[in-house]
Chains A and B, each alone.
Chain A
Amino acid sequence: MESRSNLAIEERKDSIQTKGEQTQPFKCNTDSVAGCVSQRACVYCGARVVLNPITDAIHLVHGPIGCASYTWDIRGSLTSGADLFRFSFSTDLQEMDIIFGGEKKLTRAIDDLVAKYHPPLMFVYSTCIVGVIGDDLEAVCKAASKRHRIQVIPVQSSGFIGSKSAGYKAACDALMRLMEPPPGEELEKDKTINYLGEFNLAGELWIIQNYLKRIGIELNVALTGDSSYDTLKLATKACLNIVQCAGSMIYTANQMKERFHIPYMNISFIGIEDTSESLRRIARTYQDTEMMRRTEELIQTETEAIAPKIAYYRSKLQGKKAAIYVGGGFKAISLIKQFRELGIEVVMVGTQTGREEEYETINDLVKEGTVIMDDTNPSELEKFIIEKEADLLVGGVKERPLAYKMGIAFIDHNHDRKHPLSGYAGAANFAEEVYATVCSPVWAYRERCLSTGAKEERT
């Protein structure tokens, strides 16, 4: 097997490091290298995944059909009300539109959709070619807003203007426009909190909302899981923002702090340790001893309830090795801790869009010898999974077949999963899922070929 120093692509070297052996600064947050088969998506995708869970909005993609096709119902976000967000709308640009410009078609598309669905809100996403042919999205949306008396918000998300995180920023810009009150009007603050970077996958928002309610905190609105035009309009009245997916929402949190004076706090409800600690930190900001007591009570009740299950799985999983490749740094950090709760060591960890400070935290958390990488590709994943003898890979849809083809276990931490992984309930689900995949009987057949089977039969 080729050694690390034989890594094929020279330009990738600074984006991969082994803890304890780093000699150069870690390179992240840069463009993908051409031809490297990056696992990353684009700017438009970043914007779409953040805004898509807004339940009663029309999400109109201004571009060719593929962009809308590949992101139809992209998240497993659940709704307690409207479900317009689960539809996929596109101006389906054709060659003539590219030549003569797509503004007129976009205008007609908006008009048609307003007439058919009467939405309170519409997002119009720009795609690569719209950026190139130079349609004036801003002007078209502004005119449509005026005509229909609803908010039509342009999302500047041409695919080539950066990586997925540029799309997060585009989505945040759109959200800020949505939250901005009319001139002279500001909402009065109350004691509620907003939950940023939470997309209600498989009802995860509802799990956390329930915890908060039990300790006496009312949730104002989540950005953007199970949110709606009306609830988002009230976002600025909260007294605190808690931020789960920092990758996608830290920008919004900062903007809201600056513009609306709402402080924020990074939290994580992934894993028992992070969930408990996050609840404590949130409660502490209220400086209410009764609330602190209820928080401790909840932590104890919930932890005890899942303890036997966790202990059982831990006994089965102790000593296994995991590799992580997920979208954001936040998720990777929580996962490292969560694996530790199960007695599993992380031997490889990477992200698509992690930031420098997140990689520092990752480096602090992992053991010597762990490989850390940014914007990796299948060849590197394969190489380090083998070298580090990982038993398990955590990733999304594209990584799954690779893990299985290599004959190792896999955990879906992608955004269309159908079971929650947040909070105590999620921690139990996670343990169960890790056990189900790592300890499946199927791996026993991995090393056996047909002829060995026959030999055993004879004896």
Chain B
Amino acid sequence: MKNQKESYRNVSENPCNMCMPLGGIIAFRGIEGSMTLLHGSQGCATYMRRTISEHYEEPIDVASSSLNEKGTVFGGEENLKKGLDNVRLLYEPKMIGVLTTCLAETIGEDIGRITSRYLEERQLTDGLPIVNVPTPGYGGSHSEGYWRTVFTIISSLAEDRMSHAKINVIVPHISTADLREIKRMLRLMNIDFILLPDYADTLDAPYSKPYKKIPDGGTRLEDIRKMPGAKATLEIGLTVEDSQSAGKYLENEFGVPLFRVPLPVGIESTDRFFNTLKLISGKEIPDEISRERGRLLDGMFDSHKYNFEGRAAIFGEPEQVYAVTRLCLENGIHPLVIATGSRSKKLEQLLHAEFAKIDGSPDNHHEKYELMSDTDFAHILEKSREVKVNLAVGHSEGKILTERADIPLVRYGFPVIDRVGGQRILSAGYQGSLCFLDRLTNTLLENKYRNYRSEMYQKYYQIYK
């Protein structure tokens, strides 16, 4: 395996990631009745609302403290407090999430102090939780922002040690369809759970009348408070660093046993998901699930030869990249460029281990592949051309690979902004994996059928002539 260690990079060319507060907004959206306020200048909130709106096709209301020059020079305390007042007036939230931006972090705003003083001043200390998360734009990607926010929500609110039979399920940033599929699978296993964050309804709200400014759904605050008393935590997130892992926090602070599994995408990861659930709950895996698994296997056999022609570039958030790489590997698609805009040591370690298994096997047919962390599309494009990739898997910004190198893109992850239904793309569980695999195979087939007449003509007829 070749590990691409980027030398110190002066310029990022066509970014593969977004900034921390964006991930925070999504995590907060998964809490019932919550509203988010960004402490910084107005543009940040607007940009992130626009990006999230485009993917989820939902109104994304995020307030800003709208820092101007005065607030930047003399401190933004007044702006932040006024912002909180107005958010309460307009939205009547059950919880407010306050995220910082580069600007607030750089001028050294102590949001913890400001918001706690605010709660005292307004005599709200018992009624309205405010969760503060430092998310400087230069501190990491949206993926890190997401995990840090999930962590902070739990570490700020979880308090009740009274034990109960539920299990905590912590999920990475996935589509709402995947979120619903995970809930369906948990219910099929007859498991009582607290899922966090649960934006399945808030980021994919059904049409209803009248319109609700804060949509129904989300993890209930009283459930979050009870997470320390759970039987176990299932954290779907192998790539998350221990220091950012809410599951680890619950284990360290309250002794809740932690089970970490990858996203249930592909047969092995989904097997692991169900086996872990079985282990935690002692419950049997129902027949319906076994049939779904059988159907996935059937589909894998049907399409394996086509998939063997696949040479993939995979990019996006670390957890998703790991999941897709595993799916490709178990179906014979060759992952040749594996990239993330985030910095992820865990992802590198996991993939090293994954590829080491193959490298050690006698029928190793793998070419060299590139693993790139903290990278951009200039590098992804360059490598993809070099190793003649014929399939790209990742978010919409990867369309640059199609535009510049004619590599078809299967859209997965966030954001999907140039197609409809980004929020409804199903890829998790046995059923979702089969849908995903079909999308990959059909893209390869489409490309093949589109080109093979002219290719064969060039290759054989022209020579014969």
Binding site for B on A (CB under 8 A): 8-9, 31-45, 60, 63-72, 87-95, 97-98, 105, 108-109, 111-113, 127-129, 131-133, 159-163, 377-379, 382, 396-398, 400-402, 404-407, 446-447
Residue from the set A32, A398, A400 with the largest chain B CB neighbour count within 10 Å? A398
- Interchain CB contact under 8 A, A68 and B15: yes
- Interchain CB contact under 8 A, B63 and A129: no
- Interchain CB contact under 8 A, B106 and A60: no
- Interchain CB contact under 8 A, B43 and A42: yes
- Interchain CB contact under 8 A, A88 and B13: yes
- Interchain CB contact under 8 A, B89 and A8: yes
Q: Beyond A64-B137, A65-B17, A90-B11, is A32–B213 a contact (Cβ under 8 Å)? A: no
Task: Spot the interface stretch: B66-74, B150-158, B232-240, B348-356.
Answer: B66-74
- Interchain CB contact under 8 A, A109 and B86: no
14 A-B pairs with CB atoms under 8 Å apart are A9-B89, A42-B46, A43-B43, A64-B102, A66-B137, A67-B47, A70-B18, A70-B50, A87-B14, A160-B41, A397-B53, A397-B54, A398-B59, A398-B60
- Least Cβ–Cβ distance between A393 and chain B, in angstroms: 12
- Least Cβ–Cβ distance between B399 and chain A, in angstroms: 9
A128 to B137, CA, bound (A): 11
- Least Cβ–Cβ distance between B424 and chain A, in angstroms: 14
- Interchain CB contact under 8 A, B47 and A70: yes
Cβ contact of B64, chosen from A8, A38, A43, A111, cutoff 8 A: A38
- Least Cβ–Cβ distance between A116 and chain B, in angstroms: 9
Query: Of all chain A residues, which has the CB nearest B82?
Result: A34
Interfacial residues of chain B within 42-91, with CB under 8 A of chain A in the complex: 42-51, 53-54, 56-69, 71-72, 79-80, 82-87, 89-90
A39 to B53, CA, bound (A): 12
- Least Cβ–Cβ distance between A401 and chain B, in angstroms: 5
A35 to B42, CA, bound (A): 10
A88 to B17, CA, bound (A): 12
Chain B 15-56: CB-based contact to A (< 8 A → 1; otherwise 0): 101110110000000000000010011111111111101101
Query: Of all chain A residues, which has the CB nearest B20?
Result: A66
- Interchain CB contact under 8 A, B66 and A33: yes
Query: Of all chain A residues, which has the CB nearest B11?
Result: A109
Q: Beyond A60-B11, A72-B14, A132-B103, is A34–B64 a contact (Cβ under 8 Å)? A: yes
What are the nearest 3 A-B pairs in CB distance?
Answer: A42-B43, A66-B19, A35-B86
Query: Of all chain A residues, which has the CB nearest B87?
Result: A35
- Interchain CB contact under 8 A, A89 and B138: no
- Interchain CB contact under 8 A, B11 and A95: no
Which residues of A sit under 8 angstroms from B51, Cβ to Cβ? 70
- Least Cβ–Cβ distance between B104 and chain A, in angstroms: 9
- Interchain CB contact under 8 A, A98 and B11: no
Which residues of A sit under 8 angstroms from B42, Cβ to Cβ? 32, 38, 40-42, 159, 163
Which residues of B sit under 8 angstroms from A65, Cβ to Cβ? 12, 15, 17-19, 137-138, 141, 341
- Interchain CB contact under 8 A, B61 and A129: no
Cβ contact of A405, chosen from B22, B69, B82, B207, cutoff 8 A: B207
Query: Of all chain B residues, which has the CB nearest A92?
Result: B12
- Interchain CB contact under 8 A, A37 and B63: yes
A129 to B37, CA, bound (A): 19
Q: Beyond A72-B397, A91-B10, is A407–B209 a contact (Cβ under 8 Å)? A: yes
Q: Beyond A89-B12, A132-B103, A161-B69, is A37–B89 a contact (Cβ under 8 Å)? A: no
B384 within 8 A of A: no
- Interchain CB contact under 8 A, A32 and B11: no
Cβ contact of B138, chosen from A36, A95, A396, cutoff 8 A: A95
A303 to B404, CA, bound (A): 40
Binding site for A on B (CB under 8 A): 9-15, 17-19, 21-22, 37, 40-51, 53-54, 56-69, 71-72, 79-80, 82-87, 89-90, 101-103, 106-107, 136-139, 141, 205, 207, 209, 211, 213, 341, 397
Which residues of A sit under 8 angstroms from B87, Cβ to Cβ? 35
Query: Of all chain B residues, which has the CB nearest A68?
Result: B15
- Interchain CB contact under 8 A, B15 and A88: yes
Which residues of A sit under 8 angstroms from B103, Cβ to Cβ? 128-129, 132, 159-160
Which residues of A sit under 8 angstroms from B44, Cβ to Cβ? 42, 66, 159
A66 to B20, CA, bound (A): 8
Cβ contact of A160, chosen from B68, B82, B85, cutoff 8 A: B68
Which residues of A sit under 8 angstroms from B59, Cβ to Cβ? 378, 398, 401-402, 405
Q: Beyond A38-B46, A42-B43, is A94–B65 a contact (Cβ under 8 Å)? A: no
A88 to B400, CA, bound (A): 11
Cβ contact of A36, chosen from B49, B57, B90, cutoff 8 A: B90
- Least Cβ–Cβ distance between A148 and chain B, in angstroms: 15
A72 to B63, CA, bound (A): 23
Which residues of B sit under 8 angstroms from A8, Cβ to Cβ? 86, 89-90
A426 to B138, CA, bound (A): 42
Q: Beyond A35-B83, A41-B43, A93-B138, is A68–B12 a contact (Cβ under 8 Å)? A: yes
Which residues of B sit under 8 angstroms from A37, Cβ to Cβ? 45, 61-64, 90
- Interchain CB contact under 8 A, A129 and B17: no
- Interchain CB contact under 8 A, B69 and A160: yes
- Interchain CB contact under 8 A, B50 and A398: yes
Which residues of B sit under 8 angstroms from A33, Cβ to Cβ? 66, 82, 86
- Interchain CB contact under 8 A, A34 and B65: yes
Cβ contact of A90, chosen from B12, B40, B47, B209, cutoff 8 A: B12
Which residues of B sit under 8 angstroms from A113, Cβ to Cβ? 11
Residue from the set B102, B107, B139 with the largest chain A CB neighbour count within 10 Å? B102
- Interchain CB contact under 8 A, B61 and A378: yes
Which residues of B sit under 8 angstroms from A397, Cβ to Cβ? 50, 53-54
Which residues of B sit under 8 angstroms from A88, Cβ to Cβ? 13-15
Cβ contact of B53, chosen from A69, A160, A401, cutoff 8 A: A401
A131 to B48, CA, bound (A): 21
- Interchain CB contact under 8 A, B19 and A35: no
- Least Cβ–Cβ distance between A12 and chain B, in angstroms: 9
- Interchain CB contact under 8 A, B207 and A9: no
Which residues of A sit under 8 angstroms from B49, Cβ to Cβ? 398
- Interchain CB contact under 8 A, A132 and B138: no
A34 to B76, CA, bound (A): 10
Cβ contact of A70, chosen from B48, B68, B86, B106, cutoff 8 A: B48
Q: A95-B139, A129-B138, A378-B59 are in contact. List 7 more A-B contacts (CB 8 A).
A: A34-B83, A40-B43, A66-B19, A72-B15, A128-B101, A162-B69, A405-B58
Which residues of A sit under 8 angstroms from B48, Cβ to Cβ? 70
Which residues of A sit under 8 angstroms from B205, Cβ to Cβ? 405
- Interchain CB contact under 8 A, B9 and A92: yes
Residue from the set A69, A72, A132 with the largest chain B CB neighbour count within 10 Å? A69
A69 to B145, CA, bound (A): 15
Query: Of all chain B residues, which has the CB nearest A406?
Result: B211
Query: Of all chain A residues, which has the CB nearest B399?
Result: A73
- Interchain CB contact under 8 A, A129 and B47: no
Residue from the set B15, B67, B136 with the largest chain A CB neighbour count within 10 Å? B15
- Interchain CB contact under 8 A, A378 and B213: yes
- Interchain CB contact under 8 A, B53 and A129: no
Query: Of all chain B residues, which has the CB nearest A99?
Result: B106
- Least Cβ–Cβ distance between A192 and chain B, in angstroms: 33
Which residues of A sit under 8 angstroms from B82, Cβ to Cβ? 33-35
A40 to B103, CA, bound (A): 17
